[in-house]
Amino acid sequence: MSVMKLSMGPQHPITGHFRFILDVDGDLVLKLEPDIGYTHRGIEKLAEKRTYLQNLPVIERVNSYCDSAGTMLGYLEAIEELMGLEVPERAKYLRVIAAELNRIASHLYAACLFSVATGLETMLMWPINDRELVLDLLEKLTGQRITYTYQTIGGVRFDMPEGFKEEALKRLDYLEKRTEDYYKMLLWNHTFHMRTKKVGILKPSDAIKLGVVGPNLRASGVKVDVRKDEPYEVYDKFDFSIPTGKNGDSYDRLEVRFKEVEQSINILRQALKDIPKGPIKKWAPPIVPKGEAYTRVEAARGEFGYYIVADGTMKPYRLKMSPPSFRNLIALPHLCKNVPLGDIPVIYISLDLIPMDVDR
């Protein structure tokens, strides 16, 4: 049979708002070409026309349904660096709590999509149900389920509500117990191993060369985490480890995410215990002094970089984002050479890309 051009998406059960142009020979995919841009909203340009404070809800929507709290931290860090603003300690803790809760939600979402890619619908529902618990917590903390606009320049908008700490600790205990079930359903499931082990192997050298970031890079065995390497906010005060994988296959990428959930629970427990009393917000002037700043944070999907050029007005002169999904997308054509068609969804979902993040 001759080589067939197969257009997978954007109307396809697994690809989301992507289109992949595949060269298919029988059941073998020779080449994959991602076609991005279906959710391009021009956020970088939009940001130039709005003030720094008005930008907050926009920036958040780069990565809205998964990881808005983690995404936003970088932007705030950059502005605060330009202003030379010292954020109150309690606000830093609250920011970390929101970001880590969001990381758990994001990784649970990744796990559910992953099991859909292999055809296991039960594990679509279980993590989604448990993600709801985390989102409830975030709603208690911030007033919203997915796009919070909680962290703001100079601190956070609301303080922790009454009884939040007890509720959070209770739910974290439950989540930790629940992880056992996930391991039983996915990570110890022989059929699941058949589908995911030795599929889409990303070697450490290739991963570094391609510029892959976040859990995908760590799954290849490279121990890189901005939270440890360049601690921002109060991450240097917590005791946590960086889980890494051995083989860099799809299975490892999922396992690393599950282990990161455990580490996030660990961080959250420490943060809830140590959180100091004090103000939650410091007044920040609307005008950012002239200069430029680059900051990077560890969002759920990996390293999120922000480059801001300020010209001494209320609006940024230029805002450049380097989102993790875009950087991980580069690995996808590399991994999808001469693989069976059945492995395409597994490899794609294992990288945990989201189209909004790629297109911005």
Partner 1 sequence: MIPILSFSEFIELILKVLIFPGLAFPLLFAMIVIWFERKFLARIMLRIGPLHVGPLNRTGLFQPIADFLKLIQKEIIVPDNAYKFLYNIAPIMASIVASMSVAFIPYAPKPDGGYWMIYYTPLSLLVILAIFTARPFIMVGAGWASNSKYCTIGALRAALQLLAYEVPITLSLASIVIMSGTFDLAKIVETQSSIWFIILQPIGFIVILIAMMAELSRRPFDIPLAEQEVVFGWPTEYTGTQFALVMVSEYFDLCAVTSLITVLFLGGWSGPVIPLLNDISPILSGVFWFFLKMAILTVIIIMGRGIYPRLRIDQLLDTGWTLLIPLAIIQIIITLLTAQWWLPLVRGA
Instruction: Pick the closer one to partner 1 by CB: 116 or 287.
Output: 116
Our CA angle for 344, 332, 132, nearest 5°, is 75
Other C-beta atoms lying within 10 Å of the C-beta of residue 350: 30
Minimum gap (Å) between residue 341 Cβ and partner 1: 6
Give CA–CA dist 282/294, Å, rounded.
Answer: 22
The span from the CA of 201 to the CA of 249, in Å, is 4
Answer for which of 14, 46, 169, 242 binds partner 1 (CB under 8 A) is 14
What count of other Cβ atoms lies within 10 Å of the Cβ of residue 161?
12
The residue (of 85 and 341) whose beta carbon lies closer to partner 1 is 341
Query: Is 115 a residue that touches partner 1 (CB under 8 A)?
Result: yes
119 is an interface residue for partner 1 by CB under 8 A: yes
> From residue 167 to residue 186, what is the string marking binding to partner 1 with x (rule CB under 8 A)?
------------------x-
**Burial bucket for residue 13 (CB in 10 Å: 0-12, 13-18, 19+):** exposed
Type of residue numbered 335? L
Quote the least distance from Cβ 127 to partner 1, whole Å.
11
Considering only residues 302 through 341, tell me which ones interact with partner 1, judged by CB under 8 A: 340-341
The DSSP code sequence of 152-207 is: ETTEESSPPPTTHHHHHHHHHHHHHHHHHHHIIIIIT-HHHHHHHTTSS---HHHH
CB of 119 to partner 1, least distance (A): 3
Residue 201 found at the interface with partner 1 (CB under 8 A): no
Is residue 24 within the footprint of partner 1 (CB under 8 A)? yes
One residue of 116, 187, 201, 330 binding partner 1 per CB under 8 A? 116
Q: What backbone phi and psi angles, to 5 degrees, belong to 217? A: -70, -40
Reference 53, options 155, 145, 138, 139; nearest CA is: 155
Give 191's contacts (C-beta < 8 A, 6+ positions apart).
Answer: none
Q: Which stretch binds partner 1 (CB under 8 A): 83-91, 112-120, 308-316, 322-330?
A: 112-120
The helix or strand, by DSSP H or E, that contains position 142, with its residue range, turns out to be helix 122-142
Per-residue interface string for the shown chain with partner 1, residues 27-46, x marking contact by CB under 8 A: x-------------------
What does the alpha-carbon distance between residue 237 and residue 360 come to, in Å, rounded to a whole number?
Answer: 33
- Contact with partner 1 (CB under 8 A): which of 20, 150, 192, 240? 192
C-beta closer to partner 1: residue 26 or 161? 26
344 binds partner 1 (CB under 8 A): yes
Least gap, CB of 335 to partner 1 (angstroms): 16
Among residues 80, 260, 343, 357, the one that binds partner 1 under rule CB under 8 A: 343
Q: Is there binding between residue 126 and partner 1 (CB under 8 A)?
A: yes
Cis-peptide into 204, omega within 30 deg: no
Nearer to partner 1 among residue 190 and residue 273 (C-beta): 190
DSSP assignment of 327-341:
HHHTHHHHH-SSEEG
Which CB, 154 or 345, lies closer to partner 1? 345
Residue from 120, 169, 187, 330 binding partner 1 (CB under 8 A): 120
Q: Name which of 192 and 240 has its Cβ closer to partner 1.
A: 192
Query: Is residue 94 within 8 Å of residue 126, measured between CB atoms?
Result: no
Residues in binding contact with partner 1, number by CB under 8 A: 32
- Kindly list the residues in this chain that would bind partner 1 in the complex (CB under 8 A): 4, 6, 12-14, 24, 26-27, 115-122, 124-126, 129, 185, 189, 191-192, 194-195, 340-345
